[in-house]
Structure 1
Amino acid sequence: MRILVLGGDGYLGWPTALHLSDCGHEVAVADNYARRGYDHEMGVESLVPIEPMQVRLDAWREVSGKSIKSYYGDLVDGEFTMAMVADYRPDAIVHFAEQRAAPYSMIDRQHAVYTQQNNVIGNLNVLFAIQQVDPEIHLVKLGTMGEYGTPNIDIEEGWLEVTHNGRTDRMLYPKKPGSFYHLSKVHDSHNIEFACRIWGLRATDLNQGVVYGQETPQTSLDTRLATRFDYDAIFGTVLNRFVIQAVLGHPLTVYGTGGQTRGVIDIRDTVECIRLAAENPADRGEFRVFNQMTERYSVGEIAKIVANNYEGPVEIEYLDNPRVEQGEHYYNVKHTGLLELGLQPHLLSNTLIESLFRVADKHKDRVDVAAMRPTVNWREAASPLR
């Protein structure tokens, strides 16, 4: 297959491109390198050093003997997006190319507006490019479990059968996002479903849980192929932060009571889910949704897993929660679709022992401790302009 990976310079986009290439697919990547720009804006950097795209591409060619084509441009530019899709003529487009951090979207009005414009308009341009170049192209879009929020009922895979006043219908599962970033993903999902229903496009929406891990079999072949390891309070995941804090001998900082429960997934499973979705495309006119997660834990449980698996003493510190979210809640997610396609999940405790502590310890001299403290308050971001 010919597969175009949008956001191919990112934390997940880069290892996904390598995985697909290694599995025998012809791969191209596209990026505007905005994610590297966010680092400069926030004054942080990846714990693990990452190379420029051209160095990465050259290294992959040396290691694997395979080439990956590269496009530079912004999806918000509709003419660029159209020209790129027309030039490459992919069988599938994997769409990672969005601003992905909830805290970043909640900094202030400008960051909220940027996130929505960048994500929603870019995704719309991709849909129009598919419709006009080749409606047979299968869109594999990275969504987020955060679209659903934490409803007091089971979370189905994208769709819900509802009986109301004696009549039954199948509709998109109700969404209750917790940030302007997650709202942008909801808008994406609605726009994609509309395009499938009206234009007959084919799409798979992957509502992904929190990803952990930094190494895949491909990125481990050469240090130049490494992907990001974000640990700061804006772009880092809670698990990465806990691992860094444990290695440094600092308390693990849990927001609120730690009862917030989320789905999680190993980065090796993420890239495999993309392969499975691409190789088993949705039907024409089908908006297919998979909940891309393998385990579920509360933040408090994750902190205890990190503490129990680390060789030294670890303390846990509870902070006031800067986010607006339920501290304790029901959380039961259906996630059978990818398992039925053949996914064989890795487990969190094994990844911590095998990889994360080792990676964190190797690069601990690069840690900016201050960057791990929360600086964005959801309630302040929602306040009237002063």
Structure 2
Amino acid sequence: MGTRMRILVLGGDGYLGWPTALYLSDRGHEVGIVDNFARRGYDHELGVESLVPIEPMPVRTRAWRELTGKEISCYVGDLCDADFTTSTLREFRPDAVVHFAEQRAAPYSMIDRKHAVYTQTNNVVGTLNLLYAIADADRDIHLVKLGTMGEYGQPNIDIEEGWIDITHKGRTDRMLYPKRPGSFYHLSKVHDSHNIEFACRAWGIRATDLNQGIVYGQQTEQTARDPRLATRFDYEAVFGTVLNRFVIQAAVGEPLTVYGSGTQTRGLIDIRDTVECIRIACENPADRGEFRVFNQMTQSLSLTAIAKTVADTYPGGVEIVHLDNPRVEVCDHYYNVVHTRLVELGLKPHLLSDTLIGSMYAIVEQYKDRVDPAALRPYVDWRRTSNPVTAG
């Protein structure tokens, strides 16, 4: 490892934020966490809970200190509070800020007007406050921002890493790749990307935008050391990813529910690769004034292929069924994503089938008595402006 860094993880209580904080701490960096614990509040609102029980933050940080002797600082507050955001950066003095602190579920943003407005306000305003805080506190702070492959939508051309060279009427320019996202959540991420790129141009800050695919897996080397260090496992229809839903359905003997034809293609990445990508981005910062984009994924699979992978690897019979697609999206579409820059910097990816067999099935088997089958059913329809808040 290179120089020891001070890294502030925003959204450090979340599914990815917590394992990222542990991973960076374990690699010798001095880590702080910021969170307002809104994600735990969404569970209460929706009447669901993580498949794997998770401990309160004081228990988590105490367990990490007992096991490793390493301290993780915790700041409780909201990025939408500009004074809190700026004062936290001034106090912690980070070299890098890893930004996970956003409402991350497309279905949540599509429940109704209230949830759409909340998602965009929370995500866009929080990120804007963070950009101003970096500009005012220290413009050398490197912003590592979690974006999403969903920003791109389903274009009929190759998806480049953030930028594209365009020739139009005999003239050529390098432009941000055009975006056509598929939910108000994904749109919030597009707004973030444009705001960050502008801040890089206007103020000379440095930023890396990580357009991440669907993350799967629940364990990293660090979280597996003690049950108190476990991260979330979301499986229900709003926050649960398609792969988690399939694995849960297989474990409880229900059919795997594929939305629509199943020919929709997704980019995927193992949680162990996510935390490694964050480390690589932090330790290899963007230049001053540079808005750098990495497509953070390792495989592309159709929904049907994901379901068949589960069916082929799960130790028992699994049925696959198709449901009406609640989302507005193209089913048969071209999907070719350039994702070379992280590999060039040293990423060695894990594969889906290895993770399923290696850990996910065992975890689900251990906790399957906590599954609420009703929570697996989709109830948020993109075509409606108002949906029930819970499946019940």
Counterpart of 2:294 in 1: which secondary structure? Answer: strand
* 2:93 matched residue in structure 1: 89
**Letter of the 2:126 counterpart:** G
* 2:160 matched residue in structure 1: 156
Residue by residue over 1:92-142, the C-alpha shift from the partner in whole angstroms, topping out at 9 and shown as x without a partner, is 000000000000000000000000000000000000000000000000000
Among 336, 340, 354, the residue aligned to 1:336: 340
Structural RMSD (CA): 0.7
* 1:256 matched residue in structure 2: 260
Residue by residue over 1:223-266, the C-alpha shift from the partner in whole angstroms, topping out at 9 and shown as x without a partner, is 00000000000000000000000011110000001011010000
Q: Return the alpha-carbon distance in structure 1 between the equivalents of residues 273 and 314 of structure 2.
A: 23
Identity of aligned residues (%): 74
Q: Is 1:305 aligned with 2:309? A: yes
* 2:356 matched residue in structure 1: 352
Residues 297 and 4 of structure 1: CA distance in aligned 2, closer, same or farther (over 3 Å): same
Counterpart of 2:34 in 1: which secondary structure? Answer: strand
* 1:122 matched residue in structure 2: 126
* 1:11 matched residue in structure 2: 15
The two structures have a TM-score, normalised by structure 2, of 0.97
Q: Return the alpha-carbon distance in structure 2 between the equivalents of residues 323 and 80 of structure 1.
A: 37
Among 38, 42, 54, the residue aligned to 1:38: 42
Q: Which runs of 5+ in 1 are unaligned?
A: none
Q: Return the alpha-carbon distance in structure 2 between the equivalents of residues 10 and 151 of structure 1.
A: 31
How big is the shift at 1:382? 7.5
Q: Is 1:378 aligned with 2:388? A: no
* 2:217 matched residue in structure 1: 213
* 1:279 matched residue in structure 2: 283
Q: Which runs of 5+ in 2 are unaligned?
A: 388-392
How big is the shift at 1:381? 2.4
Q: Return the alpha-carbon distance in structure 2 between the equivalents of residues 131 and 160 of structure 1.
A: 27
The two structures have a TM-score, normalised by structure 1, of 0.99
**Letter of the 1:325 counterpart:** E
* 2:369 matched residue in structure 1: 365
Q: Return the alpha-carbon distance in structure 2 between the equivalents of residues 37 and 212 of structure 1.
A: 22
* 1:325 matched residue in structure 2: 329
* 1:170 matched residue in structure 2: 174
Q: Is the 8 A contact 2:64 2:70 kept in 1?
A: yes
**Letter of the 1:135 counterpart:** R
Residue by residue over 1:278-324, the C-alpha shift from the partner in whole angstroms, topping out at 9 and shown as x without a partner, is 00000000000000000000000000000000110000110000000
Residue by residue over 1:138-163, the C-alpha shift from the partner in whole angstroms, topping out at 9 and shown as x without a partner, is 00000000000010000000000000
Query: How many positions carry a matched residue from both structures?
Result: 383
Q: Is 1:58 aligned with 2:62? A: yes
How big is the shift at 1:328? 1.0
* 2:108 matched residue in structure 1: 104
Q: Is the 8 A contact 2:196 2:291 kept in 1?
A: yes
Q: Return the alpha-carbon distance in structure 1 between the equivalents of residues 382 and 308 of structure 2.
A: 26
Q: Is the 8 A contact 2:111 2:386 kept in 1?
A: no
**Runs of 4+ displaced beyond 3 Å:** none
Counterpart of 1:263 in 2: which secondary structure? Answer: strand
